[in-house]
Amino acid sequence: LVGKGVTFDSGGLSLKPTDGMVDMKGDMAGAAAVLGGVQAIAAQKLKVNVLGVLALVENMPSGTAVKLGDVLTARNGKTIEVLNTDAEGRLILADALCYATEQTDHVVNFATLTGACLVALGTETAGLMTNTDAWGDQVAAAIRSAGERSWKLPMDASYDGLIKSKVADMRNTGGGRWGGAIAGGKFLEQFVGTAKWVHMDIAGPAWADNDSPALDSGGTGCMVRSIVELARGFGERPA
Q: How many CB atoms lie within 10 A of CB 164?
A: 14
Burial 84-103 (b: 16+ CB within 10 A, else e): ebbbbbbbbbbbbbbbbbee
- For 52, left (φ over 0), alpha (ψ -120 to 50), or beta? beta
> Measured between alpha carbons, how far is 119 from 117 in angstroms, rounded to an integer?
5
Residues that are catalytic: 16, 90
Q: Are 91 and 72 in contact (CB under 8 A)?
A: yes
